[in-house]
Copies of this chain bind each other. A is one copy, B any other.
Amino acid sequence: MLEGAWSERKPAMDMTGEEFRKYGYQVVDWIANYLDHVGELPVLSQLAPGSIKDMQPNHAPQHGESMEQVLADIDRVILPGVTHWNHPAFFAYFAISGSAPGILGEMFAAALNVNAMMWRTSPAATELEEVTVSWLRNLIGLPDEFGGVIYDTASISTLVAIAGAREAVPGLRVREEGLAAPQSAAKVAKAASDSAAPLTAPPRLRLYCSEQTHSSIDKAAITLGLGLAGVRKVPTDSEFRMEPAALQQAINEDRADGWLPFCVVATVGTTSTTSIDPIPAIADISERENLWLHVDAAYGGSAAVVPEMRWVLQGAERADSLVLNPHKWMFVPVDLSVLFCRRMDVLGRAFSLVPEYLSAPGADQVMNFMDYGPQLGRRFRAIKLWFVLRHYGAEGLAKRIRNHIHLAREFAGWVDTSEAFERMAPTPLSTVCFRARPRDLGEESSVYQKSPDQCEAYLDKLNETLMANVNQEGKCFLSHTKLNGKFALRLAIGNIRTARKHVEMVWDVLQTEADRLDGTIRPAHLSRH
């Protein structure tokens, strides 16, 4: 039935070590060259959709290809289609880094290829996860009561945190019964349509976060069966920070309306402006109202590694959980997100499931990380974090992060003193929100006073086009957001190789192009003359 087996021959089942060495060296050479010269490539890929697909056959090759052929296609097929997140002038979204020690760590993770689901399936992976998470907790000044676990993304860390909050609601039994009415209640409901028997429908859960919160909170609510209706967005102040009074009011209204408030998510470094929610006041409310407090510090938490920036996490020591992504602003290649939690037992209650084929003697004496999340399979992610923390050290990390903050403040200063740009939000961390705004369209100008709506529409168009053109040119890459309905550019500094010259360059490019554009596309009726 099986075609001629080849188990008897001495088959070349995989490369020999010698072959691997040969190609491994070639890949290392490629990467070394890439790290030195990525800054010369266009940041945003300039390819048209479908270009890569068109270069590939419809089927996997029937016969294996030589590694030479595969490696040659890195430059031919892959490189033109890469948007270079590892480029020092990548300023979009949140800038990240595939740092050299991080890449070396990933090489070991791939070669060892362990599954860190249980302690015994790789003690080194499990214990290094405990060690690095503990180091990181110390670095950002969280108290020792916080346990921690590494996931792939903040999306999953946050989902797990909210699942913990859900599990912690007294009397609900979500793990066993889910969120819909228990079957018995459904039967009662049937009866209720005949008689006046009372119904015990489960209460509907609601969580609170600000209007500026990351979309992963909404996604987690959808996934967890709370629905978008289960998330109430709390208004923010003029600096895009959650208003504690508005949070309290929302909770009061919802309780009166039959909702069951169970969780609040505060953010340290929101995605649009990197605003920092007032955690102490939010912690007061969540303690009083008995809500699980989750802090989304995926980006901003790294700033707490800088001693004089530690204040960004003030109040977070009172949280139930906190997420920080070393793959964002701590120079670790994607993916690696850390969830800190002071109630690890609750996460275990929510997720632990040990079938016979995974049972092991003494398993209750050791940490088995599979018990704390939705995923059974777990890469050896801790090793790249270990490489980065050791090679840079606490001081080296702080130096680099401090430098990014400093560069962002310098850029913000340039914007503030410019006559052609204005800032759109405070700059507490390393991301600047701003827009081009010619001085003669300023708030006090007669043109603006006469037709503010038309001016705003033009400023939106000017900035959208400015961003598109600058990104198309390829020297740098910025992204945008909308703030109070206005189109705002974002300059996010976070790549390990970003130096002052890159920030100067983007400022030059923006000034030149904004000036050119304004002279080209401004409608006549918005002109001073």
Contacts and interface: CB of A to CB of B under 8 A. Distances in A.
Interface in A143-176: 152-156, 159, 163, 166, 173-176
Interface residue tally on A, bucketed by range: 35 or more
A183 B156 contact: no
Given A23-B104, A175-B228, A60 B376 contact: no
A96 B78 contact: no
A524 interface: no
Stoichiometry, as copies per complex, reads 2
B225 A179 contact: yes
> What 4 pairs between A and B have smallest CB-CB spacing?
A225-B225, A178-B227, A98-B113, A81-B124
Contact of A58 (B58, B113, B134, B218): B134
B45 A123 contact: yes
Interface in A1-16: 1-3, 5-8, 10-11, 13-16
A355 B390 contact: no
A212 to B, nearest CB: 10
B196 A199 contact: no
Contacts of A154: 376-377
Contacts of A27: 28, 104, 107-108
B70 A2 contact: no
Contacts of A176: 227-229
Given A100-B14, A113-B97, A180-B180, A222 B108 contact: no
Contact of A181 (B2, B32, B74, B202): B202
Given A17-B34, A334-B379, 14 more contacts: A5-B406, A20-B100, A24-B28, A24-B104, A50-B127, A58-B134, A60-B139, A63-B396, A67-B101, A106-B106, A106-B107, A201-B201, A271-B355, A272-B356
A334 B229 contact: no
A455 B130 CA distance: 43
A155 B1 CA distance: 33
Contacts of A18: 32
B32 A402 contact: no
Interface in A470-486: 479-482
Contact of A20 (B32, B66, B358, B406): B32
A159 to B, nearest CB: 6
Interface stretch (A184-192, A234-242, A505-513, A515-523): A184-192
A497 B13 contact: yes
Interface in A405-444: 405-407, 409-410
Contacts of A383: 78
A353 B218 contact: yes
Given A108-B27, A110-B103, A13 B215 contact: no
B56 A131 contact: yes
Contacts of A396: 63-64
Nearest to A396: B64
A178 B13 contact: no
A131 B58 CA distance: 8
Given A7-B403, A49-B119, A135-B60, A186 B198 contact: no
